[in-house]
């Protein structure tokens, strides 16, 4: 983190997730990594900027989304508790990381900067000293 410029680079996310019965391990990991990327985007990148009712970042040139270059290393542990009501015991996998990673990243930024952060995405001027 560069507190003078307000820049954040997430280098690793560790997660443990109950995924039900694993049917395809590579797909499960891909879903977890994709959910983490979405949560990362919400935490520090994605924001629609509106000024007097005009969207100032209407294209992907101006609206920041995480790319493979932004993706942190993911340490994922899968817990297999088959869902008896689901086909083959499978559970949804991609959604939980979207929910949990955003507050985890903001909490880490809060801890590192000792600043109160009450919104996402965390913008550079929210953390500049």
Q: Which residues have a catalytic role annotated?
A: 95
Q: Would you list the DSSP string of 77-125? A: EEE----TTSGGGB---SHHHHHHHHHHHHHHHHHHH-----SSSPPHH
Q: How many CB atoms lie within 10 A of CB 95?
A: 12
CA 34, CA 49: separation in Å to the nearest integer? 24
């Amino acid at each position: 983190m560069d507190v003078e410029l307000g820049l954040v680079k997430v280098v690793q996310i560790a997660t443990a997730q109950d995924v039900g019965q694993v049917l395809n391990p590579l797909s499960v990991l891909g879903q977890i990594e994709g959910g983490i990327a979405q949560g990362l985007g919400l935490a520090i990148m994605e924001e629609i900027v509106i000024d007097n009712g005009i969207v100032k970042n209407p294209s992907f040139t101006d609206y920041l989304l995480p790319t493979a270059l932004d993706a942190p290393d993911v340490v994922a542990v899968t817990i297999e508790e088959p869902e008896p009501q689901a086909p083959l015991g499978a559970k949804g996998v991609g959604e939980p990381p979207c929910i949990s990673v955003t507050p985890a990243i903001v909490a880490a930024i809060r801890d590192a900067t000792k600043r109160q952060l009450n919104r996402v995405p965390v913008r550079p001027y929210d953390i500049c000293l």
